[in-house]
């Protein structure tokens, strides 16, 4: 667990997979990164597609060299998800993905 001024990051677990999928592809914030009209070339992923990309090790920590996911907590409540992946990049370089579960959490500095 890592605690900052506004949020705490806690390792995501298998039980969090469904919520994380819903936050990404079936929430108020989905329109900011997927699906028409703004992102016609980035369709809404099915659960199967999402879990193909976000394999179990993101939720178990079994392959930290490949990637890991964390819940973003504010005041003890989960408000989003952040993950890193590094298996497809150069050694020592990671890609970060982050999304929040509601528009009310956007613009408050929780992502930064």
**With the CA atoms of 8, 93, 46 and 31 taken in that order, what torsion angle do they form, in degrees rounded to the nearest 10?**
70
Q: Which two structure tokens, joined as six digits, stand for 87?
A: 């298996």
- For the domain that residue 99 is a member of, what is the CATH number? 3.40.630.30
pLDDT 10s per residue in the chain (112 long)? 888 889 999 999 999 999 999 999 999 999 999 999 999 999 999 999 999 999 999 999 999 988 999 999 999 999 999 999 986 667 778 889 999 999 999 999 998 8
Domain count, the chain: 1
Q: Which two structure tokens, joined as six digits, stand for 103?
A: 């528009």
Domain that holds residue 72: 2-105
Query: Which residues is 27 bridged to in the sheet?
Result: none
Flag whether 63 is in a domain: yes
Flag whether 112 is in a domain: no
pLDDT at 2: 85
**Sheet-wide strand order for 67-74:** 2-3, 8-11, 67-74, 77-85, 95-100
Q: What is the pTM of this model?
A: 0.91
Flag whether 110 is in a domain: no
Flag whether 66 is in a domain: yes
Q: Which helix (H) or strand (E) holds 19?
A: helix 17-25
């Amino acid at each position: 667990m890592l605690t900052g001024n506004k949020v705490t990051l806690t390792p995501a677990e298998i039980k969090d997979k469904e919520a994380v999928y819903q936050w990404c592809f079936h929430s108020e914030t989905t329109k900011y990164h997927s699906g028409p009209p703004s992102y016609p070339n980035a369709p809404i992923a099915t659960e199967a597609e999402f879990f193909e990309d976000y394999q179990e090790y993101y939720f178990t920590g079994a392959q930290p060299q490949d990637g890991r996911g964390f819940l973003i907590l504010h005041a003890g409540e989960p408000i989003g998800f952040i993950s890193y992946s590094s298996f497809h990049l150069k050694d020592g370089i990671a890609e970060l993905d982050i999304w929040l579960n509601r528009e009310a959490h956007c613009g408050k500095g929780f992502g930064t």
